Homo-oligomer: A and B are copies of this chain.
Amino acid sequence: MTNQISAFTSLEELKTAAARLDSEDKLESYGALFDLPDDCIYLDGNSLGVLPVSAKKRAKEVVEQQWGRDLISSWNTHNWIDLPIIVGEKIAKIVGAAPSQTLCCDSISVNLFKLLCGALNMRPNRKVVLSQQDNFPTDLYMVQGVESLLSSQRCMLRTVDSNNLEASLNEEVAVLLLTQVNYKTGYIHNMAKLTKLAHEKGILVIWDLAHSAGVLDLKLDAWEVDFAVGCTYKYLNGGPGAPGFVYVAQRHLAQFKQPLSGWMGHSNPFQFSPNYQSNKNISQCLTGTPAIISMSILDAALDVFNNLSMLQVVEKSQALTEFFIAGLTALELDTDLICISPLEPELRGSQVAVTHPNAFAICQALIKRNVVADFRAPNVLRFGFAPLYIGFSDVVRALESLKQIIANKVYLNPEFEVKSKVT
């Protein structure tokens, strides 16, 4: 698909190409599965995915019928108790995992804590957790929390530049912790290669799939990944603050032990024994009572992925971002907006990031024109392209707005400099 995207020289050419690409889009019908906001080009699905129609329906059902009418009996009659497993298995199919290794629970950060402690426990003679300096901060913060709790005798964070990762894999390292897709640039790590190199040094690898799940063709089992976490409110469209997920490879489940040993991870929680006896399966990763309402909504949202080819999703994702980058050049925006995302499609997640000294104000001016992108301090403007509900004509509309704003320096208007709490 990306080889159909050549150099363009005008807005007209872009519009013509977009119409053709949209007409050939094999995923075009998926748009109808989402309740999209009117007249808005939403390029922030990498931060919060849109509302699936199935999720909207389930939200009403779980609140009004299951909670409101059936109340406590729903734990059995609507199988609330198995939701973490049911939802986990739906995610497993999306990330290339065989059954019984993936569970839905808590948040990425909390799940990372479980995996970090569990993995360090499996490498008692090593203490270094290797990561990269520009990893998403919460991943580094969670390692710092473990370090502070266990002391630097048992856990020590070491961060290096992305370029130095391979050279830093050595026998001191217990755990390699990486986010596959960089949250700012969209750069994709080679998960198969890095996992293999790490294993050669006896290192366990934890992958954060926040910007991967639902938009890349992942093969966790085939790539022999040890552990992974991910969130579900981005490309999996689970809703704001939807619970995260955790993956522990089958071969580690018997030895793996995590410290947030709440009653839901017990082998027989309703026996109410005073002694913790963990499930040896993936359910051992459960801690407290699952967030039933959020998880039910997510469960329905994931139905969008039934029978979906992740290869087709990747193909469209690459075409959308390639088309956007070509558009920046065609409209002569590329001298003002410096692209910091990889130019090779296969190294780029489903987003394009550009820098500009007035990135914040440009983002606000776009939002005023109903084109929603986001800003990352200090000067990054991110455009996310969710392949299931964004089309090529949407990309052109975003580019048009961007051209107006840059050409007329609209971003200098003081109204666009008003900062908000969340950026």
Contacts and interface: CB of A to CB of B under 8 A. Distances in A.
A170 interface: no
A68 B56 contact: yes
A192 interface: no
B145 A107 contact: no
Contacts of A273: 137
Interface size class of A (residues with CB under 8 A): 35 or more
A67 to B, nearest CB: 5
A106 interface: yes
Interface string A290-330: 11111101000000000000000000000000000000000
A377 B272 contact: yes
Contact of A261 (B50, B76, B145, B290): B145
B48 A56 contact: no
Contact of A137 (B59, B239, B258, B274): B274
A263 B68 contact: no
A233 B289 CA distance: 10
A140 B141 CA distance: 27
A254 interface: no
Contacts of A133: 274
A275 interface: yes
Contact of A294 (B38, B42, B257, B291): B291
Interface stretch (A90-98, A108-116, A340-348): A108-116
B376 A272 contact: yes
A354 B136 CA distance: 53
Contacts of A75: 421-422
A143 B299 CA distance: 32
B289 A241 contact: yes
Contacts of A146: 259
Nearest to A107: B288
A117 B146 CA distance: 11
B287 A231 contact: no
Contacts of A276: 137, 140-141, 144-145
Report, nearest first, the 10 A-B pairs whose CB atoms are least far apart: A107-B288, A109-B262, A240-B292, A145-B261, A109-B288, A138-B263, A241-B292, A149-B259, A75-B422, A141-B276
23 contacts: A42-B71, A48-B67, A48-B72, A50-B71, A51-B64, A59-B60, A63-B239, A66-B240, A81-B422, A82-B421, A106-B106, A107-B289, A108-B288, A137-B269, A138-B262, A140-B274, A148-B257, A148-B259, A241-B289, A241-B292, A272-B376, A293-B294, A293-B297
Interface of A: 35, 37-38, 40, 42, 44, 47-48, 50-51, 55-56, 59-60, 63-64, 66-76, 80-82, 106-110, 113, 117, 133-138, 140-142, 144-146, 148-150, 159, 231, 233, 239-244, 257-266, 269-276, 287-295, 297, 367, 372, 374, 376-377, 420-423
Given A109-B262, A109-B263, 10 more contacts: A37-B69, A72-B372, A108-B289, A113-B260, A137-B266, A138-B262, A140-B274, A141-B276, A240-B293, A243-B291
